[in-house]
Structure 1
């Protein structure tokens, strides 16, 4: 039996909540029009957004693949699928029926350019796409053959956790990323909410390797190594890959005086670098969290319990905060980096308050938290004396 990895609970919360500074930054610079000029000209913010985006969702989907393998093996395929419908599909449906509509109207208030909505529907998905892609991975995994088609010994080198095998996953991921970028260009696919089905298809292809890595980690019983890898190669590979990615990332290029979108050949190169980078960075992040969280923590448990609701509601909170600042003339305020950090902390705090309200209302706790809240029995409470 594998040892419980307490830091994986922290990783689930941290990776989702890192979306808050990312979406605060993108709301103020990409959705709001005109965006905050000081933010858009700030290289720290551009590099910070690129850095967060370089590993956050891939690391999350590695965890999702690992926990999918674990839960499916322990609970059985049917029971596991039922649990996923409760914890993922239900919050998605509830969010589409409510939060996506609210986000649309706030998005239009940020910029009238978003008025067409999603195929004429008043919906804005922003951060909700990940639930759809996660469900896609769940159904894909549920359709896997019951018996192994390929021996475990063939899969093992793809994780690069054994001595001398590190080039295999990096080359395989680079080839996948380059192929995906090339295919998107040939087929004319756009990573844009205006063509939502194309965006979902590209995101599915982008994060499929991460989910597979996590599922293989469980199948090969390598969780202790995958999520606390002590090898040196990720630390050596990440810096040059990150530098190359920065030079090609549209979030960073304008700060170097270059055009945001690179040429088609460079986009294919960035696809290769970014896909390999995500794995190296994920291993580093998991290793750091293993050092920081090696035992149970009440704070981590609280954030894990609230991560889904906090993440679902934070986009509305971020839009409201950015709207308020725009009305106050924040575009002319100094110190954009400090503003970004302070607003991210404010949005996190307000989103936690929303979660505290949601979990006290059983219906909301079920549909937005994905789990039923059991009320405390009142009859057994001892009477106060004094």
Structure 2
């Protein structure tokens, strides 16, 4: 079919395209707010350095407890919860409480001194080395019987201290979420705090939640089945591959969006000049220095992106072999692993379907989840199926926050990366 426009005869399809191009662009929907932003960060922790020492009510752990947590995902597990509320409204005497469907109200206290502001989203940057340690690092990556081509990547600090230019460290940029903080909002409240008590921790997050205070709108949302604390991540490293690699196995967590594992160890030997050899490995299929940022919450969309880049293990996978070269280079090592969880996001009022109507957001809420564990390489766990009945999560207040630092800080704190 032909039509005539401006004295010219053109096809019907071309006429439609011409009309669309000539039409004025659609006006974007006007969006204001939100007045208040609320985040709930829920973690399940188990294994070495996570669920053992304090999960028994502060009592001295038994030898069985210690051996259990060294084996990984067996025995005890704890729940940790962090609540953070930021608002553009000011209050001379800030007061706010989180009212879970079942349990004691959780007071959100405003810190007396506000730390430096952090943006809501940030991208992890190339690691910096300010004070090089007297060591060399062997970096391995990938699951398999043997380490792949080009491994290990060697970072020799003795050469750097002698004047050699710092080589580029293999690295993949990670986009992180940053919850509300005092520096970004007129008023801020958080839990846990100085008024926290272990017994305040809700045993379950399911059901109705309310946040009431004098510096934000009333916030109400409901978490349905499937949006609770994640199950413990049960990790087993008892098996050996035919070539001698260490087989890591874990139970599938239905709500997991992906998995990631690292190993930090040492050769147990020092060079003639006292140089220590550090061994690092990650489950990433691509060459990378796996910093602490990968062992924390990540948005589901970012996890999908990193699965596409083969940096994160897909949720359908439940096994990864640490190459024999890693086990040979590291006489001992600590394996740390995370199962990334999904998110629940809420906003009030809902976004109008008509783009001509403004969306004046009163509040938004994000609930995010993760499950972490760790074990000492060479300390076998029992059968995974037998461990599931033992791993009954217990409640515990959120541990002190740990500052994310550069490469040297990562090395110093690698024994307890979470």
Same fold (TM over 0.5): no
- Flag the structure with more relative contact order, 1 or 2, with Cα contacts below 8 A and sequence separation at least 6: 1
TM-score (norm. length: structure 2): 0.21
TM-score (norm 1): 0.22
Select the structure that is richer in helix: 1
